[in-house]
Amino acid sequence: MSDRAGRPDRLRVAVAAPLSEENRARVQELEPRVDLVVDPSLLPPMRWPADFAGDPDWRRTDAQQRAYEAAIDSADALYGIPDVDPGALARAVRANPGLRWVHTMAAGGGAQVRAAGLTDTELQRVLFTTSAGVHGRPLAEFAVFGVLAGAKDLPRLNRQQRDHTWSGRWTMGQVHRQTVLLLGLGGIGRKVAEALHALGATVIGTSRRDADVSGVTTGVPGVTTVVHPDRIADVAPTVDAVVNTLPGTDATEHLVGKRFLDALRPGATLVNVGRGTVVDEAALLDALDSGQVGFAALDVFETEPLPVDSPLWDHDRVLVSPHTAALDGAEDRLIAELFAANATRLLDGHDLVNRVDTVEFY
């Protein structure tokens, strides 16, 4: 047991989200000072890798729910937000004054923390971390796929194949001659920059902190220029594609809106692997209809699941991906390893990685 009055020599962790026996062993191999409190019968069965919410039809009995909450209330830390439910997170924080740390499974776990409606005192007492970075390579691959699909005019190829039309040849776009605006230079954005740079693209990044007066930086591999997000409409006429990796915050909501889309080079590609709220979908539809945006590869949306009556479903310039681009068979293991590394940092008195900003909640 830990000494909650000072730095603990052990960490009692309630496993609040599905965690396989193999990955439990991996956590304890990497950090033997962790004591996992886990009863698999109290956790929903996963339908696929990283399905931390589990089967929606599964239910605990009243006795199981009491046992689940008792384990959570006895812990120094939580592996996962209970039932991926902000309300359950709020209950856990308030019922357990010894709770010090909650690790969220999502890269964008800050939104779940925000939805819990915790007080400033509660937010200061408990550390929150996310799984950001675990999804970087899968999302970078989807981003490259989207940029390539736009450059090669996937909508036209699909249309001609569907109609059995063998047209004359046409000149396709070449990614190695394109300029891509990358919104966000966090863990995902840096992987995207690396992948696009490897294809020869010129990458412009955005950052609220790293852009200097001239806008030129060499601090991010693969990125030639960094601009402040307030300036993206200024560079929009120079770019062939836009990739969003930004989280959903008040500052990023509808950053990709009418003003920016109107300023784009006609026919530009848009790829969204960040959060759906960054893109104003009404403005995007207008830009798609006019041809201002030639192709959009979207893995995230303002409302999820995407409503059945959304025009995005049937737009021939849009590829709809049901928020699945990040899913990787190795994700569960990578999150467990990230958690173990942070547990070591906590036990040794070091700052945790992927801390949630409890002002902007990302």
Residue 297, SS3? strand
What distances in angstroms separate CA 114 from CA 69, 90, 223, 356, one per listed residue? 21, 10, 32, 10
Q: What is the pLDDT of residue 209?
A: 80
Q: What is the pLDDT of residue 10?
A: 96
Distance between CA 58 and CA 66 in Å, rounded?
16
The helix (H) or strand (E) run that includes residue 8 is none
Name which of 287, 244, 297 is nearest 263 in CA terms. 287
Confidence band for 120, pLDDT divided at 50, 70 and 90: very high
Token code pair at residue 166 = 């063998």
Q: Is residue 351 packed enough to be buried (19+ CB in 10 Å), middle (13-18) or exposed (0-12)?
A: exposed
Q: What is the pLDDT of residue 332?
A: 95
* Average pLDDT in the chain: 94
Q: What is the pLDDT of residue 210?
A: 65
User: Does 218 have pLDDT greater than 90?
Assistant: no
* Cβ neighbours around 153 below 10 Å, total: 20
What distances in angstroms separate CA 275 from CA 165, 239, 245, 301, one per listed residue? 37, 21, 7, 7
Token code pair at residue 134 = 């675990």
How much of the chain exceeds pLDDT 70, in percent?
Answer: 95
DSSP letter, residue 208: S
* Cβ neighbours around 17 below 10 Å, total: 25
Q: What is the pLDDT of residue 211?
A: 53
> Tell me: the pLDDT tens digits for 17-49?
999 999 999 999 999 999 999 999 999 999 999
Catalytic residue set:
275, 304, 323
What distances in angstroms separate CA 36 from CA 28, 33, 87, 269, one per listed residue? 8, 10, 23, 46
Q: Is the dihedral of CA 132, 332, 335, 87 positive or negative?
A: positive
Confidence band for 108, pLDDT divided at 50, 70 and 90: confident
> Tell me: the pLDDT tens digits for 245-301?
999 999 999 999 999 999 999 999 999 999 999 999 999 999 999 999 999 999 999
Q: What is the pLDDT of residue 6?
A: 44
Residue 103, SS3? strand
Distance between CA 173 and CA 316 in Å, rounded?
19
Which letter, b or e, does each residue of 310-335 get, where b requires 16 or more Cβ atoms within 10 Å of its Cβ? bebeebebbbebeeebbebeebbbbb
Q: DSSP for 209-225?
A: SS--TT-B--SSTT-SE
Q: What is the pLDDT of residue 234?
A: 97
